[in-house]
């Protein structure tokens, strides 16, 4: 690939990358990938991407390797061949994120990711930096709060019988009975790479009718069961209603 | 694997891959911008003046210079070579070469963003600095440091009068707009050069998370010694830029031991495929061997010690 074409490709890819960042931020789908506290970083990244696009444009008339040694015919100069291959490899690799980002529908991690990652029954209390979260009113507690409560409260048994009202997506775990499912959320500290799933088991007779990844609101009373040797919240549900996906599908510990 | 399962796994892969890429690319662009500014506005003799002549003291100062010049492991090699040829002690240049990819504001910020104020964050900074300065001090024992460099043109000796002109990077008549254009041109090239390794690293991390059950990964990642060796190998193979490798390491947190994560984060920026190739282009074979083996041994010892003696 000659330098001029490479510069135009750099320009196109950087403009596309800046636009991709901006579009994800404006649509809110950036939160499928990162913790909300990094939104400003992505906005800065979008601005810098447009700046780098200008850099590619400014370099469109740079002399090519071939121009430096015009005596060698095209195809016979090893330096030129290396440079051309290297540009092709760089431009090809840098187009991969855009191909995947624009070619596949944006989706948050869901039940399929739990299959390979497993559940994190040991939700980090320290990551919140706030032990007071265990004091939140029962109806306002998230799945993460309940997982913390049954693992770290001074008297976990005291949560039995408290009212629960949580939102999460449906995940069917084969270790549970046919009348049960998991209502789950992912917590993300930095980006989707560190996502860890937390869940509560739900007793619901029509469990088999619920499709994985459907977002539901579960109301009922809390009990405690055991999962992989750790205490797990168990909700004896009185209602399970479909609901829309939250603006932030992940929780931030 | 059934078709719906494959579809779910591909979706998870794309989300993890893009999660790493989107966040790390933003950091990489900032690093590339800093690199462009250094290339256009810095003259190596400006830095050489700051470093004491005593080789051991120089190694200490060299280890800290990354705070002022935020370059990743790719930008640091040519810069360190320029500095040696401008008269900087070899010990300082080696300490700078090994420490700067971690001990600089951008990488400190990205590691902090990924891990917070945890032992991984503090351990990475302290171990990188310690190993770099120690290796630099070993290089101080060399009687003719310039003999360690591969190319020895007489004109590039520190006293060469022609050198001053050779390293002046700014054209005196260049306008501010032209300079800005050159900064951005260098930055976009740096971003493409380093970005391909980021794409490769994020791709592999995404594949691993989407297709390999965590139970399998945990079996490898749990051993105090095997986990360290596996993560060192991974760091070398992935060759991810230090600006963004904390996000890759984060994907392994929870499955791998803390010592092995530190080994990945400390050794990776010092030695990987791309930096080894660059070392080989600058240093003689024996010096390259020291640059690889000293950090390797110190990293393994520190990481295994942490795994066996702490509860981090």
Question: What whole-number distance in Å separates Cα of residue B199 and Cα of residue B79?
Answer: 25
pLDDT at residue A66, as a whole number:
59
ipTM: 0.91
Cβ distance B248 to A193 less than 8 Å, yes or no, reads yes
Mutate to test the interface with A, among B6, B26, B214 (most CBs of A within 10 A): B26
Q: Band of the pLDDT at B219, cuts 50, 70, 90?
A: confident
Contacts with A108 from chain B: Cβ below 8 Å: 15
For B70-127, write each residue's pLDDT tens digit.
777 767 877 777 777 777 788 998 999 999 999 999 899 989 988 889 999 999 999 9
- Helix (H) / strand (E) containing A240: strand A230-242
Alpha-carbon gap, residue B196 to B240, rounded angstroms: 9
A115 chain-B contacts, CB cut-off 8 A: 5, 8, 213
pLDDT at site A210? 95
Per-residue pLDDT, averaged over B20-37, amounts to: 85
Would the pLDDT of A100 be above 90?
Answer: yes
Please judge whether A97 and B113 are an interchain contact, meaning their C-beta atoms are less than 8 angstroms apart. Answer: no
Judge: A116–B210 Cβ closer than 8 Å, yes or no. Answer: yes
- Across the interface, of A34, A52, A58, the residue whose CB is closest to B22 is A34
The predicted pLDDT at position A238 comes to: 96
B212 Cβ neighbours under 8 A, 6+ residues apart? A116
Residue range A176-218, pLDDT digits in tens: 888 999 999 998 877 888 888 999 999 999 999 999 999 999 9
Closest CA to A183 of A170, A164, A174: A170
Q: Which segment, A32-46, B29-43, B172-186, is predicted with the most confidence on average?
A: A32-46
- pLDDT recorded at residue B245: 86
Question: For residue B51, is pLDDT > 70?
Answer: yes
A101-143 pLDDT, tens per residue? 999 999 999 999 998 888 876 555 444 444 445 678 888 899 9
Q: Is-contact B137 B91, C-beta < 8 A?
A: yes
Q: Which residues of A touch B210 (CB under 8 A)?
A: 113, 116
User: DSSP for A149-199?
Assistant: HHHHSSSGGGGTT-EEEEEEEEE--TTS-TTEEEEEEEE-SSBGGG-EEEE
A64: which DSSP letter? Answer: P
3 state DSSP class of A232: strand
**Pick from B15, B30, B199: which is nearest to A32 by CB?**
B15
Closest CA to B145 of B101, B95, B72: B95
pLDDT value of residue B122: 96
Structure confidence at residue A70 as a pLDDT band (50, 70, 90): low
Interchain pair B187, A55: CB under 8 A? yes
Cβ–Cβ under 8 Å, residues A143 and A183 = yes
**For position A129, what pLDDT does the model report?**
42
Q: How far is Cα A45 from Cα A50, in angstroms, rounded to an integer?
A: 9
Which pTM was predicted?
A: 0.80
Q: For residue B152, is pLDDT > 60?
A: no
Say whether A52 and B32 touch across the interface (CB within 8 A).
yes
Q: How many helices (H) and strands (E) does chain B have?
A: 15, 0
Q: What are phi and psi of A212, to 5 degrees?
A: -50, 145
Q: Is the pLDDT of residue A163 over 50?
A: yes
Q: Which backbone phi and psi does B80 adopt, to 5 degrees?
A: -65, -40
Q: Among partner residues B7, B183, B192, which is closest to A90 by beta-carbon distance? A: B192
Provide the pLDDT for residue B151. Answer: 59
Most confident of A28-32, B159-163, B202-206: A28-32
B215/A contact by beta carbon, under 8 A: yes
CB burial of A40-79 (b: ≥16 within 10 Å; e: otherwise) equals ebbebbbebbebbbbbbbbbeeeeebbeeeeeeeeeebee
Chain B residues with beta carbon closer than 8 angstroms to that of A61: none
Collect all residues of chain B within an 8 Å Cβ-Cβ radius of residue A191. 19-20, 22-23, 247, 250
Give me the pLDDT at residue A61, please. Answer: 81
> pLDDT category, B159, cuts 50, 70, 90?
very low
**What pLDDT sits at residue A50?**
97
Say whether pLDDT at B223 is over 70: yes
For residues B281-302, give the mean pLDDT. 92
Mean pLDDT computed over B261-273: 91
Helix then strand then coil, in percent of chain B rounded to 5, is: 75, 0, 25
Instruction: State the virtual CA torsion across B220, B223, B229, B233 in degrees, nearest 10.
Output: 20
pLDDT of residue A102: 93
SS3 A239: strand
Q: pLDDT averaged over chain B?
A: 82
Query: Residue B177 above 60 pLDDT?
Result: yes
Q: Do A41 and B23 touch (CB under 8 A)?
A: yes
Mean of all residue pLDDT scores within chain A: 87
Residues 100-159 of B with CB under 8 A from A: 113-114, 116
Beta bridge partners of A199: A184
Q: What is the pLDDT of residue B80?
A: 79
Q: Which of residues 255-294 of B touch A (CB under 8 A)?
A: none
All residues of chain A having their beta carbon less than 8 Å from the beta carbon of residue B199 are: 93-94, 96-97
Which residues face A180 on adjacent strands? Answer: A203
Residues 176-195 of B with CB under 8 A from A: 181-189, 191-193, 195
> What pLDDT, on a 0 to 100 scale, did the predictor assign at position B240?
74
Which segments of chain A does DSSP mark as H helices, in order? 3-27, 39-58, 65-68, 78-103, 111-117, 143-152
Compute the nearest-CA separation of B99 from chain A (Å): 25
pLDDT at residue number B221: 73
Cβ pair A100:B209 closer than 8 A = no
CB count within 10 Å of CB A127 equals: 15
Q: Name the DSSP letter for residue A218.
A: E
Quick one: CA dihedral B36, B41, B43, B48, positive or negative?
Answer: negative
């Amino acid at each position: 690939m000659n330098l001029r074409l490479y510069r135009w490709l750099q320009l196109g890819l950087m403009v596309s990358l800046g636009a991709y960042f901006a579009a994800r931020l404006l649509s809110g789908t950036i939160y499928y990938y990162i913790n909300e506290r990094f939104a400003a970083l992505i906005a800065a990244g979008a601005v810098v991407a447009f700046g780098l696009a200008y850099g590619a444009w400014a370099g469109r008339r740079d002399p090519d390797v071939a121009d430096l040694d015009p005596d060698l015919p095209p195809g016979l100069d090893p330096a030129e061949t290396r440079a051309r291959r290297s540009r092709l490899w760089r431009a090809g690799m840098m187009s991969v994120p855009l191909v995947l980002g624009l070619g596949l529908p944006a989706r948050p991690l869901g039940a399929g990711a739990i299959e390979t990652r497993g559940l994190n029954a040991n939700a980090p209390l320290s990551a919140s930096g706030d032990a007071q979260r265990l004091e939140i009113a029962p109806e306002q507690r998230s799945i993460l709060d309940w997982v913390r409560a049954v693992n770290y409260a001074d008297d976990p048994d005291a949560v039995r019988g408290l009212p629960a009202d949580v939102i999460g997506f449906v995940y069917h775990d084969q270790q549970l009975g046919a009348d049960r499912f998991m209502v789950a959320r992912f917590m993300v500290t930095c980006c989707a790479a560190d996502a860890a799933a937390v869940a509560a088991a739900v007793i619901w007779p029509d469990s088999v009718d619920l499709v994985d990844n459907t977002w539901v609101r579960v109301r009922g009373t809390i009990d405690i069961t055991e999962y992989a040797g750790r205490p797990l919240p168990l909700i004896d549900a009185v209602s399970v209603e479909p609901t829309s996906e939250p603006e932030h599908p992940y929780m931030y510990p | 694997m059934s078709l719906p399962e494959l579809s779910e796994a591909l979706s998870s892969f794309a989300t993890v891959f893009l999660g790493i890429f989107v966040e790390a690319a933003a950091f990489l662009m900032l690093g590339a911008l800093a690199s462009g500014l250094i290339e256009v506005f810095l003259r190596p003799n400006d830095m050489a003046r700051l470093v004491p002549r005593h080789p051991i003291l120089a190694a200490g100062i060299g280890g800290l210079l990354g705070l002022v010049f935020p370059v990743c492991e790719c930008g640091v090699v040519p810069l360190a070579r320029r500095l040696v040829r401008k008269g900087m002690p070899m010990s300082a240049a080696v300490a700078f070469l090994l420490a700067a990819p971690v001990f600089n504001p951008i990488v400190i910020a990205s590691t902090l963003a990924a891990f917070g104020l945890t032992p991984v964050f503090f351990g990475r900074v302290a171990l990188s600095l310690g190993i770099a300065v120690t290796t630099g001090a070993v290089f101080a024992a060399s009687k003719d440091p310039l003999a360690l460099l591969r190319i020895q043109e007489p004109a590039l000796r520190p006293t060469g009068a022609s050198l001053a002109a050779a390293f002046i990077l700014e054209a005196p008549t260049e306008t501010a707009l032209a300079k800005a254009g050159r900064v951005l041109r260098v930055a976009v090239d740096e971003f493409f050069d380093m970005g391909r390794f980021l794409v490769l690293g994020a791709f592999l991390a995404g594949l691993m998370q989407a297709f390999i059950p965590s139970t399998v990964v945990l079996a490898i990642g749990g051993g105090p010694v095997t986990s360290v060796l596996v993560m060192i190998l991974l760091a070398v193979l992935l060759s991810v830029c230090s600006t963004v490798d904390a996000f890759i390491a984060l994907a392994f947190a929870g499955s791998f031991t803390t010592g092995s994560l530190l080994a990945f984060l400390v050794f990776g920026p010092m030695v990987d495929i791309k930096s080894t190739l660059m070392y080989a282009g600058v240093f003689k074979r024996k010096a390259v061997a020291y640059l690889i083996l000293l950090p390797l041994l110190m990293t393994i010892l520190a990481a295994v010690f942490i795994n066996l003696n702490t509860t981090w």
